[in-house]
Structure 1
Amino acid sequence: METRANHVWVGAVTLILLGLLALFIVWLARLGTADQKEYDIFFNQSVAGLANGSEVTFAGVPIGQVSQIRLWEDDPGFVRVRIRVEPDAAILVGTTATLQSSFTGVSTILLDGARRNAPPITCETTACPEGAPVIPPKAGGFGEIIANAPLLLERLATLTERLTMLLSDSNQGEIAGILRNTNEISQALADTAPQTERTLAELQVTLREASNALVGFERVTGSADRVLNSTDRLLNQEGAALADEVRKTLNTANQAAEALTATLQDAQPAAQQLSQSTIPAANATLEDLRATSRALRQVTEKIENEGVSSLIGGQNLPTYDPDE
């Protein structure tokens, strides 16, 4: 009985010592993590491969680990990941968290992007919906690919199926026909290449002539501008003097017209007298002169034909025949 009692005491003491050792280890663990900082990260993607105790690195340097992974109660579309990092880790404003996956299935959290002289991330500089400052997430390239691998495989399978349908026997025949038509078109283009070159050469000549014509037009336009400038200068500089001369000429013409009008008014009575008395008398005189001229012509002709004696002789009487 005494031996059995000793074994019971030894077992009890051993269990007590083991319990004290466990409590001491837990106390040491809590003592080591008491000064660590806690942050929350809200991922709106799958966090497959991430577990409690997963490593947290800053620019590749281990600074902490994941302490808790939960679906966010306010929005189940987000996964809340709480991390603990060393107290001297520079978690500044601008720092982002990336979920980095690997082919082995183990995921880690990579922190980077801290800006120099920026304030640290605290509840005063960012939100604290769950009692810890929030580090904004950033989609990681390789991790995003790993997370979306099932979707990529599904789309790849769909693409392969559609390519198989596209490359069926009937479609291959259609593609062969298209290639033959393309070859014929290429041959036709090759056959028309010389004509195309000639057309291009003619087009270049035409463009050159058009350019020369444009240059000539610009010269004509320049000459016209110079003429217009000269005309404008002539009108502006000499137009005033010319206008004065024209005004003087018009005044002189007006004066001459007024003088002619007065002269005509003065000559109107004389013209009436001339037409009423002088001209009829002159006409009568002209008639008398015409009669006198005819008489003198008759006398002259008689002298020429019969002599001077015909003027002084009597007039011959006609012969009288008693039988008649």
Structure 2
Amino acid sequence: MTEPVAPAAADAPVEAVAHVEAKAVALLLLMAALSVAFLLYVMYARGVFEITQRLVLISDDSEGVIPGMDMTFAGFPIGRVQRVELAPDGKARILVDVPRDDAKWLKTSSVFTLERSMVGETRIKAFTGMLEDAPLPPDAVRTVLRGDTSAEIPRVVASARALLENLDTMTRSDSAINNSLANLEAATGRFAGKYGLLGGALGSDAEAQKLIVTLDRVNGLLAKADQRVFGKKGLMDDTQAAVIQMNAVLKDASSTLKKLDAVLAEAQQVGANAKVATKDLGALRAEVDASLRKVTRMIDEINRKWPFARETELKLP
């Protein structure tokens, strides 16, 4: 008879890990320490522990401005918006914390802008033109300048509409520009005529021809007048001859008067010869009268020939 087989012995129990609770607590503490270290690092990276100074920006509208956004200078973030609040006067107050190390870029003459583009986020920028100015004090209040691109769209559309209306007015068939172009075309057509610029200036070739005929007549008259006055045996020649004759007569009269002066002087010195001097004076008087008559005739001749007659009075001595 076969003997029964004894059942297999049960496996031995697994030995328990020593200090399980302690190791679990240590692991939890390590995870908590890592979490705290990570949180502290993030806070440090965000500048929570930096020494900052407050800057208050005043704006009419704070749309697009959210806490945590950066304020940039030359493209580098130098400040961070902490909060946005509404002032009693209805304006928005944007509170910005600026690290002390970066506050050196902000001066009393700095300008702050709030730019909001059609695509993208709102940006706060700081501009400093004079780095030698005094530094911006803590808790300074500055008005921010807005540069809203979308706000310019209605003005641009209105300007474009006005431009299109003006262009339509200018290109109509009855517009002033078209009328001016038509007049210019007519004027250039007249310039291309027989008399060129003269015909265009006077309005037609007929008027230009009349002017040319008139000028020819005037030139003919001037030529005749010139020949009559300055030509051979003209008025100027007659006048010149008369002047020469007059000069001769005046010389005779001058010589006669000199003789008269000599005779008068002799008559005053020699009283005994008064009768002889009287006869000489009569002869000289006759010569003076003859010379004066010659002068009178020459003056009358000049007045007759010269176109500008004038009265000449000759008094006897």
Q: Same fold (TM over 0.5)?
A: no
TM-score of the aligned structures, taking structure 1 as reference length = 0.41
Q: TM-score, normalised on structure 2?
A: 0.41
Q: Flag the structure with larger Rg.
A: 1
- Structure with the greater relative contact order (CA < 8 A, sep ≥ 6): 1 or 2? 1
